[in-house]
């Protein structure tokens, strides 16, 4: 049970980091588009 809990926390952290990176890429992309259209 304990090891499963640690595994779940590690997976949640990894997916959060992946989401964070995707968000950063998306905001950079949006900024580029805004600078083109504005």
Structure tokens at 4: 């499963």
Q: How confident is the model at residue 6 (pLDDT cuts 50, 70, 90)?
A: confident
The full DSSP string for 3-32 is HHHHHHHHHHHHHHHHHHHHHHHHHHHHHH
Q: How confident is the model at residue 1 (pLDDT cuts 50, 70, 90)?
A: low
* Residue 30, CA distances (Å) to 5, 7, 16 in order: 37, 35, 21
Between 34 and 4, the higher pLDDT residue: 34
pLDDT of residue 9: 87
CA distance 33 to 17: 25
């Amino acid at each position: 049970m304990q090891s499963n809990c640690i595994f779940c926390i590690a997976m949640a952290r990894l997916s959060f980091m992946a989401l964070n990176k995707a968000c950063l890429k998306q905001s950079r992309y949006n900024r580029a588009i805004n600078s083109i259209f504005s």
